[in-house]
Amino acid sequence: MSKRRVRRLLARWFLRMTGWTTSGARPAPRRYVLIAAPHTSNWDFPYLLAFAAVYDIPIAWMGKHTLFRFPLGPIMRALGGVPVRRHAREQLVEAMARTLGEHDELALVVPVEGTRARTEHWKSGFYHIARRAGVPIVMSFLDYAQRRGGFGPAFEPSGDVVRDMDHVRAFYADKQGLFPERFGPIRLREEEWTPASPGDETAGARAGLASVEVEPDDAPIVSAVSLVAAAGEVHEDR
């Protein structure tokens, strides 16, 4: 039995034991930037890996470089982790775009919130990386209210950031994280730029795309053992 098939079987068992179901079809694109939201709990990471395994999606995710120190480093890399540092954001966009270009099939998970705590703005790195790499953006979700997760439609970032983010907001409007109060508004700082001229509601936002926000996630601290050992109700201290 192949490793891929073993991962799928373990992931299906994990989701079944924790009462979760899949929703939606496997994304059609072979290479894309993947949004993973809402992100309010450490449990989001193992569920993301489980759903990716069930849908047979090879993923790479960005994590703080400190997560890749011994003894967890080899495990994190085996799970698709890419260690990054919080500085040199422009270089990070280029590096992640190159990573996508080096694979025939890959879903690159870019943290949009950068933290499990409430934040008033999403990080815009996912948008810049997709545009730089020339790949679509796919929205994945975990809805703890309905105990379902999966993948939504893909869209090509147009450069009209307000219109594109309206599409994202509409998709996540009915999705609830484990701790809903930690899920802040879905908006980028670029959307708040003043329009360049009367009647142009998005020109300022388009100009704002020169500002890059990329934040590696600090959440993937659940070991690989947790993926097969956790079962029943999910609990986490607030």
38-48 pLDDT, tens digit each = 999 999 989 99
In the chain, where are the structural domains located? Answer: 3-225
Among 12-16, 59-63, 221-225, the least confident range: 221-225
Give the model confidence (pLDDT) of 11-22 as tens digits: 999 999 999 999
Residue 168: enclosing H or E segment and its boundaries? Answer: helix 161-172
Q: What's the one-letter identity of residue 34?
A: L
Q: Which amino acid does the sequence have at 66?
A: T
> What is the reported pTM?
0.79
Residue with the larger pLDDT of the pair 1 and 16? 16
Q: Strand 59-64's sheet: what is its strand order?
A: 21-23, 148-155, 137-143, 31-37, 106-109, 59-64, 81-84
Q: How far is the C-alpha of 35 from the C-alpha of 52, rounded, in Å?
A: 13
